[in-house]
Structure 1
Amino acid sequence: MNQGHPAHSLRERLIDAGVDLVMTEGSASLGLREIARRAGVSHGAPRRYFPTHHALLSAIARRGFTDLAARFAAAAEDAGTPRDQLRSLADAFLDYAAEYGGMFELMFRHDLLDSEAHASDADVPGPRLRESTLPLFARLVELVAQDRAHRTKHGTGPSYDSAPPPALTAAALWTNLHGIAVLRANGSLQLAFPGAAEGPDQLVAAALDAHLGRADA
């Protein structure tokens, strides 16, 4: 891709401005006019590169998934067993949510992830936002399956003959982690479980035990 092309440069400037806004002021700040102002262009300029406000927000959110994917890769790099890797990914997910709350909220907005409802965005360069999430989820499914194989091979943990498919277990685990992230961010988690104020370590361990079987079983 030609980084020096004016259209590419302006498109990236608009996304950069949106990323800066969501990181510093939250997802509610992402109006088209404010993004254009931050990018130093007229308020009508974003429409030349993004047919809808939704398309621009999706492009901004894709930056978040790119960052999260890199964090997942780094977190799993030095981990050992599949369960160790799952724990590292869980920690990376929750750390990202705590550090970049505005971007995290934007990334998981249903109206942005529901790509089929926005056919007019098809001409925007890059994958649809939902497609950006699939490799991350696929990695979780892969690790859940590997954990089962590892525990079966070493004779630890329960029998998996009647266990749900790895994809279902991975979805339940992701849902659990997302709930921890959201409830922690709005302060509700600390009310129900005061220990969460110092970090969700115990809750993450409990979630892994619930969905994978106890680590010491």
Structure 2
Amino acid sequence: MTRTSYHHGALRDTLLAACLRLIETEGIGAVSLRRVAREAGVSTGAPYHHFADRAALLAALSTQGFQLLGNEVTAARAAADTPLQALTALAETYVRFSREHPGHFRLMFRPELSQPDKHPDAMDAGDAAFAVLADTVADCVAAGLLPADKADTIAVAWWGLAHGLASLWLDGQLEKRSVQLGTEAPALVDDIMRTFTALIAPSA
């Protein structure tokens, strides 16, 4: 099989992989349908069989990223022994995801690029990933560990804290600070999330 005779589904996956490589090596600004086609080794017209424009390609990659994240946090929640342990595990998984999937992570929270208003799949996938966190907070509320009237606030605060740590780690700042504190980034993330847990659920 030549690189220009991909099966219909395989071509789409190949284009997404090529786009991801470009983002990780040269940044989002390097992405164009023509450049992605060249990276994938296909004709310049091939991407248009799947993506109407650059935004559609980026939206598909963003959707893929949120689906991967959703799968990982779902698994982390299922593996935890208690709701509070699940909250910590979700944060640690979120931060690790940013390191293991930097191309996806840098794109997923750039709506001006993926245009979720025109490509609702990306928004739906993002909402589904967030729902895992919201459900875990709800588990904590049901167990009497967190106040019901603050569930939504806590979920957003938890996301904000995890996202901030993920961004700091991705940019190299968390590792730098960890060295200064005489520890390692994973241990620092764990300590931060456990400290936050103790603050919001001191009687647990």
**Normalization by structure 2: what TM-score?**
0.80
Task: Give the aligned partner of residue 32 of structure 2.
Answer: 31
1:143 is the counterpart of 2:143: no
Equivalent residues in 2 for 1:38-49, closer than 5 Å: 38-49=39-50
Equivalent residues in 2 for 1:101-120, closer than 5 Å: 101-112=102-113, 114-116=115-117, 118=118
Kept in 2: contact 1:62–1:129 (CA 8 A): yes
CA distance in 2, matches of 1:177, 1:112: 23
Kept in 1: contact 2:21–2:103 (CA 8 A): no
1:17 to partner: Cα distance = 1.9
Kept in 2: contact 1:25–1:102 (CA 8 A): no
Equivalent residues in 2 for 1:97-176, closer than 5 Å: 97-112=98-113, 114-116=115-117, 118=118, 128-150=121-143, 152=144, 160=147, 163-164=149-150, 166-176=151-161
Identical positions, percent = 32
CA distance in 2, matches of 1:98, 1:11: 25
Work out the number of aligned pairs and report it.
196
RMSD of aligned alpha carbons = 2.8
Task: Give the aligned partner of residue 190 of structure 2.
Answer: 201
Kept in 2: contact 1:59–1:129 (CA 8 A): yes
1:129-149 Cα offsets, whole Å, 9 max, x none, are 111111111111111111022
Question: Which stretches in structure 1 are left out of the alignment for 5+ residues?
Answer: 122-126
Task: Give the aligned partner of residue 163 of structure 2.
Answer: 178
1:195 to partner: Cα distance = 3.4
Question: Which stretches in structure 2 are left out of the alignment for 5+ residues?
Answer: 1-5
Cα–Cα, structure 1 residues 213 and 113, in superposed 2: closer, same or farther, change >3 Å? Answer: farther
Kept in 2: contact 1:83–1:147 (CA 8 A): yes
**Normalization by structure 1: what TM-score?**
0.76
